[in-house]
Chains A and B, each alone.
Chain A
Amino acid sequence: MSLLEQLPEEIGRHIQDQLTNGESVQLSVVTDVIPDGDYGREWLVATASRAFVFQEEGSAFHCRLQFPVEGLSDAKVEPMLGGGVLEASSNGQRLEIVHYSNSLAAKFGFVAKALNQLASAGKISVDMHQEEGRRCKSCGRPIPSHYGICPVCVDRSKTVRRILKYVQPLWKRVVLAGAISLVSTGAALVPADLTRKLFDDVIMPASKHLLSVPRGVSLLLMLVAGVAAVRIFNSLLDFWRGWLMAWLGGWVTSAVRQDLYNCMQRLQLRFFDRRQTGQLISRATRDTEGLQWFLIDGLQMLSVGVLMVIGILALMAWRDWRLALVTLAPVPLVAGISVIVIRRCHRLYHRVWHRWSDLSALVGDTISGIRVVKAFAQEQRETNRFGERNQNLFQSTVAAERMFSIYWPSIEFAAGLGMLLVWTYGGWLVLRGQVTPGVFTEFTVLQGMFFWPIQMLARFPDWYQRAMTAAERIFEVLDSEPEPYVSPDAKPMPHIEGRVEFRNVTFGYDKHNPVLHEVSLTVEPGQMLGLMGHSGAGKSTIINLLCRFYEPDEGEVLIDGVPLAEIRLDDLRNQIGVVSQEPFLFCGTIADNISYGNKEAAMEQIIAAARAANAHEFIMRFPDGYDTIAGERGTRLSAGERQRIAIARAILRNPRILILDEATASVDTETERQIQEALDRLVKNRTTFAIAHRLSTLRNADILMVMDKGKCVEWGTHDQLMAMPDGVYRKLVRLQREVSRMRVGA
């Protein structure tokens, strides 16, 4: 992306005529919507002193708007439905510059930034970072989220090579499996050939009385014994191969799964921001499962299928090449039916799958909200809604099954056609004495064996594609950049003093949309900083940067004078403790949860921490005490109880830097007092960042910072901020006093 797009010649000429000495075009971008809301093209062109908007009218252009760049300020985009508008203040007046559709939203975010720079600095230095979006980086095609990666650009052979790398150490077993397949295919053909022998050497001579009965019986018994032996041998081989392949496939996928999980734990948070949790879980489960199926069953079917087809063809051609050609005639038909029917089925089953997820979403929704449903007496409505979706699911299932039920009968029909051809042509050859009845019989048997592998091979490309896409999705995670746990420049910092400094930090989760603007702050060791501001003001972002969950776009964060990037990540995170608004408890005992991240903690330490967190009392009231199972499937703990367990966890960890993220939100007054008491113990001698709405949490803060729209608007002690006549803080304090008075009054 560039902000100097090619202008149409006419506009270019027009501009060139107007330029004065030394003036040059700094910005030229096209938009796709004109101000009345219709699709149409306009060009925004700007130099360091002036800006123009040209509108396209047929093949001509006219200048719709012209305004000076000097005196321009506060250029920004206002998002609207389906699009947005670029606005700026020009000499005190608000100006709508151009409209655009959402396709160009990212570009105009940069344009707004560029205009501001142009007005203030006379030149543009926008860092045009391309967001990773829903489009493929190499071909620009949109990527459906269930693919996760561009299905067109996937380099499948590279993916196969990567999978083979996992198989490499096991090559002996792979060769063995291949050898078994070869032998067992050969063995599978023996009974067909013995059938020929049965006809030509036993039945035919016997029916013409050319063979004595005892000789015939002994020959017959020999053939029966031969077939039986081959069948037993073959079953044993199939069993061996199946077991071997299952082992191989299972081994490979478990190695892939392990790598995937290790990698996921170390990924940057940005990776998780961009993707839905469900999608990532399905990569770890469904995709590896799909790959496993392919490696165990798919590859087996492929190797057996190919060998089978080759073996049958070779045997047929050796016996009689004319008859072999006739047998082959229905092959294109079978392959065609397989490809077409299966592709249609695939689409229909996809719809079934969607309707299934619709239905289960509804069930999940109403079951979790069953209290609301009952309280509003909406059982009937929910039942009706379910009935509707259930019906939809039923219909799509029937449609899919109907299509699939065409499959086998049509394959059998095509195979039956082959049978007719073999009978007709083969019978004619027998009648003319050109082939023996045994050969004829052998062909009918082989012909029957032929179409099973053919239909399977026809479906193989589809399996292959899906398995490779699954594999590629897994490899995408493996290839993503992990957090810099092991960085060569990082220094160990076993003991953090706790001086925290932000220097002109600018940051945005999307780079064109910063949520922090040049924030600077310093907190001395042991001090407590209270962060205030509306939701979305950037408080939590400060915390995220301090924990180095994200890297600042501009500026730096320092601890004890060392930039975060140069501190070993383990050392940093081991010395930061977080008590968040909705503490997460893992499934395990309360003791496990308190000692999370501190495995060696003795029971006494755990109790001491719980006591300090005012949690000991309520824990002891549980029948299972510290062994009570907490977490999603465990005992229901109240918000205040979970909060105090989280505080105990932080106390036990004994961090140098403590983060309290609205730790007393949503609890009653008594609980708040207990938590507050626990927090007061916790913050002693630690550098603390506290986010809070309630002033009571912040009463011990040494410094307060009030944030608004990603900027620090007020900074100082309580007294300093109260002394500001129009201060935001002062207003907040007054408001809260009013509210608490109202409560007392009530």
Chain B
Amino acid sequence: MSQDLHEKKESAPRREPEAFRDWYLDGRRMRLTEGPSGILRLTIDAERSYVRVKAYRAFPITNPEEYIGFCDDSNKEIGVLRDPKQLDEDSQRLLARALRRRYLAPKVLTVSGAGERYGVSNWKVETDRGPREFSVIDHSENIRHLGQGRVCIQDVDGNRFDVPDYRSLDRKSSDFLDKLI
């Protein structure tokens, strides 16, 4: 048992900085670069470097642009970046792209050709990522009105769609949503 303790002491200084590090990352000391086949590499203070980092939103719905978490290749947390605007421009662009890939929740611009029958609504939408057709069931669960006109939709396959403010959509689209909310 004393041997165990001894081992731990020995390994402690070598392993470290982790326990003393702040959760929050300083964006001014971070740099994101692009590796081969589009992977994301994170360098902090030009000394620590992580290959294949993944970026996550802490609040994908309520605050998608801030509090971005970073993980390394083995899903171990590196830290949270409060405000990506602290990053340099290239890093910001790479981060935005990585987040866009990870969060496939297109913004709905118009709704057309939607109809409801037998509790299934069929949607034809134009989104910021292109046109799409989908079906929604169990409307009270899958169409969530978050207030101020913000609507989150989940289709029958688990795809997500986001309406920033349905009241500001064209008349036909907003009428359709109004009926379902």
Question: Chain A residues in contact with chain B, CB under 8 A?
Answer: 33, 35-40, 80-83, 85, 93-96, 99, 101-103, 105, 134-135, 141-147, 151-152, 354, 358, 734, 737-738, 741
Interface centre among A35, A40, A82, by most chain B C-beta atoms within 10 angstroms, is A82
Known interface pairs A145-B138, A737-B1. Does A82 touch B119 (Cβ–Cβ under 8 Å)? no
Taking CB atoms, residues of chain B closer than 8 Å to A354 are: 140
Listed by A's residue number, 9 A-B pairs whose Cβ atoms lie within 8 Å are: A36-B100, A37-B129, A40-B130, A80-B101, A81-B103, A94-B52, A99-B104, A144-B119, A144-B120
The answer to whether B104 touches A96 (Cβ under 8 A) is: no
Q: A152 contacts which of B105, B118, B129, B130 (Cβ < 8 Å)?
A: B118
Known interface pairs A103-B157, A105-B157, A151-B118. Does A82 touch B104 (Cβ–Cβ under 8 Å)? yes
Known interface pairs A38-B130, A144-B138. Does A135 touch B156 (Cβ–Cβ under 8 Å)? yes
- Measured CB to CB, the nearest residue on chain B to A82 is B104
Q: A81 contacts which of B129, B131, B160 (Cβ < 8 Å)?
A: B160
Q: A144 contacts which of B37, B137, B155 (Cβ < 8 Å)?
A: B137
Per-position 1/0 for B108-122, Cβ under 8 A of A:
000000000011100
- Measured CB to CB, the nearest residue on chain B to A152 is B118
The answer to whether A93 touches B119 (Cβ under 8 A) is: no
Q: B157 contacts which of A81, A94, A102 (Cβ < 8 Å)?
A: A102
The answer to whether A96 touches B160 (Cβ under 8 A) is: no
Taking CB atoms, residues of chain A closer than 8 Å to B73 are: 94
Known interface pairs A37-B101, A39-B130, A82-B103. Does A734 touch B159 (Cβ–Cβ under 8 Å)? no
- Complex Cα spacing A141 to B157, Å: 12
B5 to chain A, nearest CB (A): 9
- Complex Cα spacing A99 to B158, Å: 15
The answer to whether B129 touches A82 (Cβ under 8 A) is: no
Interface residues of B in 118-152 (CB under 8 A from A): 118-120, 127, 129-132, 134-138, 140
Taking CB atoms, residues of chain A closer than 8 Å to B106 are: 39
Taking CB atoms, residues of chain A closer than 8 Å to B103 are: 80-82
Taking CB atoms, residues of chain B closer than 8 Å to A82 are: 103-105, 158-160
Interface Cβ pair total, 8 Å cutoff: 97
Q: Please classify how large the interface on chain B is, using the bins under 10, 10 to 19, 20 to 34, 35 or more.
A: 35 or more
Q: Lowest 10 A-B CB distances belong to which pairs?
A: A82-B104, A39-B130, A144-B119, A102-B158, A83-B104, A142-B156, A144-B137, A103-B157, A151-B118, A82-B160
Is the contact region of chain A dominated by helix, strand, or loop, or is it mixed? mixed
- Measured CB to CB, the nearest residue on chain A to B4 is A734
CB of B38 within 8 A of chain A? yes
The answer to whether B102 touches A81 (Cβ under 8 A) is: yes
Interface residues of B in 32-60 (CB under 8 A from A): 36-39, 52, 60
Q: B100 contacts which of A37, A93, A134 (Cβ < 8 Å)?
A: A37
B99 to chain A, nearest CB (A): 9
The answer to whether A142 touches B4 (Cβ under 8 A) is: no
- Measured CB to CB, the nearest residue on chain B to A142 is B156
Q: A101 contacts which of B100, B135, B137, B157 (Cβ < 8 Å)?
A: B157
Taking CB atoms, residues of chain B closer than 8 Å to A39 are: 106, 127, 129-132
- Measured CB to CB, the nearest residue on chain A to B102 is A80
Q: A147 contacts which of B101, B105, B119, B156 (Cβ < 8 Å)?
A: B119
Question: Chain B residues in contact with chain A, CB under 8 A?
Answer: 1, 4, 36-39, 52, 60, 73, 97, 100-106, 118-120, 127, 129-132, 134-138, 140, 155-160
Interface centre among A141, A151, A741, by most chain B C-beta atoms within 10 angstroms, is A141
Interface centre among B52, B130, B132, B156, by most chain A C-beta atoms within 10 angstroms, is B156
- Complex Cα spacing A152 to B37, Å: 47
The answer to whether B52 touches A38 (Cβ under 8 A) is: no
The answer to whether B36 touches A93 (Cβ under 8 A) is: yes
B74 to chain A, nearest CB (A): 12
Taking CB atoms, residues of chain B closer than 8 Å to A36 are: 97, 100-101
Taking CB atoms, residues of chain B closer than 8 Å to A151 are: 118-119
- Complex Cα spacing A322 to B157, Å: 60
The answer to whether B38 touches A102 (Cβ under 8 A) is: no
- Complex Cα spacing A33 to B132, Å: 11
The answer to whether A96 touches B159 (Cβ under 8 A) is: no
- Complex Cα spacing A82 to B157, Å: 9
- Complex Cα spacing A85 to B1, Å: 46
Q: B37 contacts which of A80, A95, A103, A105 (Cβ < 8 Å)?
A: A95
Q: A83 contacts which of B37, B130, B135, B159 (Cβ < 8 Å)?
A: B159
- Measured CB to CB, the nearest residue on chain A to B180 is A351
Interface centre among A93, A101, A354, by most chain B C-beta atoms within 10 angstroms, is A101
- Complex Cα spacing A38 to B106, Å: 9
- Measured CB to CB, the nearest residue on chain B to A32 is B132
- Measured CB to CB, the nearest residue on chain B to A151 is B118
Taking CB atoms, residues of chain B closer than 8 Å to A738 are: 4
- Complex Cα spacing A93 to B39, Å: 11
Taking CB atoms, residues of chain B closer than 8 Å to A101 are: 104, 157, 159
- Complex Cα spacing A96 to B127, Å: 25
Taking CB atoms, residues of chain B closer than 8 Å to A741 are: 1
